[in-house]
Structure 1
Amino acid sequence: MTIPEFMQAVYLTGHGGPEALEFRTDVPVPEPKADEVLIEVKAAGINNTDINTRIGWYSKAVDGDTEAAAGSLEADADDASWTGRPLVFPRIQGADASGTIVKVGADVDPARIGERVLVASLQPAADAVDEWDFITWGSECDGGFAQFATAKDIHTHKIDCDLSDAELASFPCAYSTAENLISRAGCKAGDTVLITGASGGVGSAAVQLCKRRGATVIAMASKSKHDQMQALGADRLLDRHENPAEVLGEQSVTLVVDLVAGDGFPALIACLKRGGRYATSGAIGGPMVSLDVRDLYLKDLTFVGGTAQAAETMPNLVSYIEAGEIAPLVAQTFPLDRIHDAQEMFLQKTFVGKLVLLP
């Protein structure tokens, strides 16, 4: 193909409301470095982290939930990214992308041109000092909210399947987050897993991935979404407003996968059996929680946070997709120039699965 000089893209111009997102048609197409590939982006999924970064929710100056923070925010720009370091603007966000390699850098095999690919959302930092030093594609470097994007060759994974571009773009961030989290928490056959925020991108991924491992899954979501949760394989359903400790009973589950936190946190800890595990990679209900530390040590609980990903996470995910072991869940697609509408719908949480932009 003939690669144009300029492209459509969305610039994040600073921390703030939707006005901080600027759709442009005159953005230079990036040139891949020696160890990079240039991807023609076919679809790009929307994630909580996109909005959290835009509004500065990761700043320690913020203690409210993401929905409340989206309206009015007093964040400190010096620590308003998930790494705790300031962002460089303008930034092209987009941690999820599916597309086709159209050009490669000097050190990359030209045979890769034409491959259909997914980009790993979480990547080791170039100057990483240890195994926990990661960046997010679309946060610490430009990502997929554009017609073309560059990515490191080693973090760009070939995929061979019949799914649509939009369906493929629903996988990388949410499913790798869920796979990494439940792997770290040791999810296995025989576990009874309670998943909060089960209708969201990471939550719906966790339902499928826990079932894939042979666990019994209890999904918490709005009642209007229960049919879809059941279709994904959930064995039992709870309304998101119910108190799980009262409905299920105390010491009733072996693993909690919590993507909400907030006021419901104590009931989740009460649900855990002795020796149970609590795992989290999100706090849309609010990051500040109340914990009785006696529960932590007297019940021999293990707390697991999940961000940095093991090297095998993305390759494993690609293998699950190619084998048809997990299914995409795309609620709606939007053209790239309607990113404001897409993020507004995202914040309403009236859908199940992922919203995807089509550049």
Structure 2
Amino acid sequence: MERNELLEPIPSQMKAVVVTEYGGLEKLEERMVPVPIPNENEVLVKIYACAVNNSDILMREGGYGTDTKENERAGWKREGISFPRVPGTDVAGKIISAGSNIDPKCIGENVVLFPFMSSGADGSEHMAEDITLMSSECDGGYAEYITWPKELCRPMPLESYAESASFIVSCFTAWHMLEKSNVVPGEKILITGATGGVGSYAVQLASKVFGAEVIALARDLSCKERLIDLGASEVLSYKSATLSDDILKAAGGEIDVVLDVVGNPLFSTCLQVLRNGGRLATSGAVAGAVTQLDIRTVYLKHLSIIGCTLGTRKEFDQMLSEIREGKIQPLIDKVFPLERARDAQEYFKKSEKFGKVILQNETNI
């Protein structure tokens, strides 16, 4: 395919950070690789910003396990990764070239990329067996350029590339958790990991979009005022020796819905504070993927445990609309240049961060 109506000259090689094999930060390497060429239904996007996610790190570490062996190294689909692989799922950039079936008028548009492809029907695309997730089954955003289906490109919600990239997977995941939990105005919601990407956006969404009363859990109370500004009614430390009682007191009763990304250390507490008929949505296990569960708690309290990963295109578009209207604010903790991806991932794992960590290809964007 010939590149058509180019916005700017496109080099044959680009800078990319790749994962060479499962392992530590030393398995992240900066390389020069060929610039991808879009097929007939794709566009070439110049990447200006890409957020760091826990999934990037778990992919490098092989931390997802498999269906049969919890400690076996595997990627997001619990299958082996084809290395080298460019990580990164949260891409914001500019379309600079288009495939032969794409109207070239789109060249020059600033876009964010819906982070996966699948053949699933509308509303169930995130549950399809053939999902191709950026950074796991195909190369992602730790690079200067990426090709992606034009139909999965959306207008950038904010003027800033870095701010727009900050929402893509974390805020999208939080939105999906709230949707799947069928949250209604006035319900009491407990959010774990509230200073992280998913948790901090969940606080905003739950309170300001879904109209819920939010109890936020964090490591300590140094961020209390910031979380209250985001919409939390109360902020508690998960290190409290009386956490269950603290939650019930803060909520004035039992909890309707828990949004959990922490996993094992808080799982039993989350179930304990739920009311009869309560719901727990889980989308991560940053502090422990394997837990013990007293099944009697689930059936005697009529609880629903809801697994959440990614979401639908409709939810993604709804989220972007709320961002454009200013209901959700971008939360960026720190920005690194692309070549410091190792530092960015190391910093990402620090518990004291608040919000997203961003990789940039250029400054002042």
Corresponding residue for residue 203 of structure 2: 207
Measured in 1, the distance between the counterparts of 2:18 and 2:259 equals 33
Give the CA deviation at 1:160.
4.8
Corresponding residue for residue 66 of structure 1: none
The aligned runs of 1:25-174 (5 Å cut-off) are 26-60=32-66, 75-77=71-73, 80-124=74-118, 131=125, 132-133=127-128, 134-162=131-159, 164-174=160-170
Stretch deviating more after TM superposition (105-114 or 54-63)? 54-63
Whether the aligned pair in 2 keeps the contact of 1:83 and 1:135 (CA below 8 Å) is: no
Measured in 1, the distance between the counterparts of 2:278 and 2:120 equals 36
Measured in 2, the distance between the counterparts of 1:188 and 1:244 equals 25
Give the CA deviation at 1:124.
1.9
Would the alpha carbon gap of residues 181 and 85 (structure 1) be closer, same or farther in structure 2, given more than 3 Å must change? same
Matched to 2:154, the amino acid is H
Would the alpha carbon gap of residues 245 and 127 (structure 1) be closer, same or farther in structure 2, given more than 3 Å must change? closer
Corresponding residue for residue 323 of structure 2: 321
Corresponding residue for residue 3 of structure 2: none
Corresponding residue for residue 20 of structure 1: 27
Give CA-to-partner distance per residue, 1:202-222, whole Å, 9 cap, x none: 001111111111000010012
Give CA-to-partner distance per residue, 1:283-335, whole Å, 9 cap, x none: 01101112211111111111111115223021111111111110100011001
Matched to 1:338, the amino acid is R
Corresponding residue for residue 229 of structure 2: 231
Corresponding residue for residue 4 of structure 2: none
Question: Which consecutive segments of 4 or more residues in structure 1 shift more than 3 A?
Answer: 60-63, 125-128
Matched to 1:209, the amino acid is L
Would the alpha carbon gap of residues 127 and 319 (structure 1) be closer, same or farther in structure 2, given more than 3 Å must change? closer
Give the gaps of 5 or more residues in structure 1.
64-74
Matched to 1:99, the amino acid is G
The percentage of aligned residue pairs carrying the same residue is 37
Give the CA deviation at 1:263.
2.4
Matched to 2:170, the amino acid is A
Give the CA deviation at 1:165.
1.2
Whether the aligned pair in 2 keeps the contact of 1:244 and 1:271 (CA below 8 Å) is: no
Matched to 1:152, the amino acid is P
Report the 3-state secondary structure (helix = DSSP H, G, I; strand = E; otherwise coil) of the residue aligned with 1:344.
Answer: helix
Measured in 2, the distance between the counterparts of 1:121 and 1:234 equals 28
Measured in 1, the distance between the counterparts of 2:98 and 2:184 equals 40
Corresponding residue for residue 246 of structure 1: 245
TM-score w.r.t. the length of structure 2 is 0.90
Q: Does 1:9 align with 2:13?
A: no
Give the CA deviation at 1:76.
3.0
Q: Does 1:183 align with 2:216?
A: no
Report the 3-state secondary structure (helix = DSSP H, G, I; strand = E; otherwise coil) of the residue aligned with 2:90.
Answer: coil
Whether the aligned pair in 2 keeps the contact of 1:118 and 1:157 (CA below 8 Å) is: yes
Measured in 2, the distance between the counterparts of 1:51 and 1:144 equals 14
Whether the aligned pair in 2 keeps the contact of 1:93 and 1:139 (CA below 8 Å) is: yes
TM-score w.r.t. the length of structure 1 is 0.91
Would the alpha carbon gap of residues 42 and 264 (structure 1) be closer, same or farther in structure 2, given more than 3 Å must change? same
Whether the aligned pair in 2 keeps the contact of 1:45 and 1:355 (CA below 8 Å) is: yes
Give the CA deviation at 1:111.
1.2
Give the gaps of 5 or more residues in structure 2.
1-7
Whether the aligned pair in 1 keeps the contact of 2:172 and 2:310 (CA below 8 Å) is: no
CA RMSD, 1 decimal = 1.9
Whether the aligned pair in 1 keeps the contact of 2:275 and 2:301 (CA below 8 Å) is: yes
Whether the aligned pair in 1 keeps the contact of 2:23 and 2:60 (CA below 8 Å) is: yes
Measured in 1, the distance between the counterparts of 2:278 and 2:147 equals 42
Matched to 1:230, the amino acid is I
Measured in 2, the distance between the counterparts of 1:158 and 1:166 equals 14
The aligned runs of 1:261-340 (5 Å cut-off) are 261-340=263-342
Measured in 1, the distance between the counterparts of 2:132 and 2:245 equals 40
Give the CA deviation at 1:126.
8.5
Report the 3-state secondary structure (helix = DSSP H, G, I; strand = E; otherwise coil) of the residue aligned with 2:336.
Answer: strand
Give CA-to-partner distance per residue, 1:185-212, whole Å, 9 cap, x none: 1112011000000100000111111111
